[in-house]
């Protein structure tokens, strides 16, 4: 086990690392699918992409990690406070990197945002561009 792996393993065990939820340089969240402008049928799968940081379950404090939030038909929630829990703000606190979604027919926007172990957006915010999709 490398030193860095051992460090992260220790963090998981004690879940009490004192490092801030640092954002790694160049961190980027993006929606792999569907594509911007795509027409889909419910239910459809949304795949989450993340570069430069890692995914960790909610509650696990580890530098350079977070969990995904899918923002549906809503603007990005405010910085510095927990992401709301409702139908427009879905949390993937088990560390999921995809989800199956059913939305009513029509135009919708989807945006991905990373949050830390307490569901607070990173600073600076790590979020995808919003995509527009059409549900048949
Ligand atoms: Cu969350």
Domains of the chain in sequence order = 3-135 (2.60.40.10)
115 C-alpha to ligand 1 centroid (Å): 6
Say how many Å lie between the CA of residue 23 and the centre of ligand 1. Answer: 16
Look at the block and give the residue holding tokens 């088990």.
94
Q: Residue written as tokens 């350079």?
A: 64
- Rounded to the nearest angstrom, the distance between the alpha carbon of 3 and the centre of ligand 1 is 29
Give the pLDDT mean for 106-113.
Answer: 98
> Does residue 16 surpass a pLDDT of 70?
no
Q: Report residue 112's pLDDT band, with 50, 70 and 90 as the boundaries.
A: very high
CB atoms within 10 A of CB 23: 19
Q: How far is the CA of 1 from the centre of ligand 1 (A)?
A: 30
Question: Is the Cβ–Cβ distance between 46 and 110 less than 8 Å?
Answer: yes
pLDDT band at residue 56 using 50, 70 and 90 as cut-offs: very high
In this structure, which residues have their CB less than 5 angstroms from ion ligand 1? 91, 115, 119
The SS3 call for residue 6 is helix
Instruction: Please give the distance, rounded to the nearest whole angstrom, from the Cα atom of residue 54 to the centre of ligand 1.
Output: 14
Of 24 and 84, the one with more pLDDT: 84
| 0.85 surpassed by pTM | no
């Amino acid at each position: 086990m490398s030193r860095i792996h051992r460090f992260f393993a220790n963090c998981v065990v004690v879940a009490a690392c004192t490092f801030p939820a640092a954002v790694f340089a160049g961190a980027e969240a993006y929606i792999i699918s569907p594509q911007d402008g795509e027409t889909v049928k419910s239910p459809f799968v949304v795949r989450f992409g993340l570069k430069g940081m890692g995914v960790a379950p909610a509650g696990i404090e580890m530098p350079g990690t977070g969990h995904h939030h899918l923002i549906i038909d809503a603007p990005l929630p405010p910085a510095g406070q927990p992401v709301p829990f409702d139908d427009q703000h879905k949390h993937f606190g088990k560390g999921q990197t995809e989800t199956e979604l059913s939305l009513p027919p029509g135009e919708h926007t989807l945006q991905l945002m990373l949050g830390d172990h307490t569901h607070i957006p990173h600073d600076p915010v790590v979020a995808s561009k919003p995509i527009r999709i059409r549900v048949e």
